[in-house]
Amino acid sequence: MLKGFKDFIIKGSVVDMAVGVVIGVSFGNVVTAMVKDLVNPLIGVFGGKPDLSGVYFTVNSSKFMVGDFINSLISFLTIAAVIYFAVVVPMNKVMEKMKSGKSEDPTEKSCSECLSLIPVKAKRCKFCTVVLGK
């Protein structure tokens, strides 16, 4: 029974997931601090109130913390933008390249006669010795 638990814990996917969660939480803390320490003061410069967490309204003795919600929304949108532009867009480009099977800067080309792969700068095929055009 303990051996099965040990195998489960040591599996690479579980460890990778744990590392991802820890990194994600740390990244969330950094973004929250950025919103609190950088974005809110910028909003204060233009809006007059630098700390949005204190913005609220009251209805029948119920306090609605609108500013705290706005802070969380700004944090979420910032995290989503960073994840999209730093992870999703580059991974989509890599996956697109892998699907097409082409590299950006090919080092080899196919010989027009025997279809063997030869260096791009070759003037003669090393397999069939045909003279290659430019």
Q: Which of 61, 64, 35 is nearest to 50 (CA)?
A: 35
Residues 89 and 115 in one domain: no
Residues 52 and 72 in one domain: yes
Q: What is the pLDDT of residue 12?
A: 62
Q: Which domain holds residue 119?
A: 103-134
**Residue 41 three-state SS:** helix
Choose between 9 and 77: higher pLDDT: 77
Question: Whole-angstrom Cα distance, residue 66 to residue 34?
Answer: 19
How confident is the model over 3-23, as pLDDT tens digits? 877 777 776 677 778 888 888
Residues 76 and 98 in one domain: yes
CATH number (domain holding residue 28) = 1.10.1200.120
Q: How far is CA 16 from CA 10, 12, 24, 66, 90, in A?
A: 10, 6, 12, 37, 20
Residues 85 and 131 in one domain: no
pTM above 0.85, yes or no: no
Q: What is the pLDDT of residue 85?
A: 87
Domain count of the fold of the chain? 2
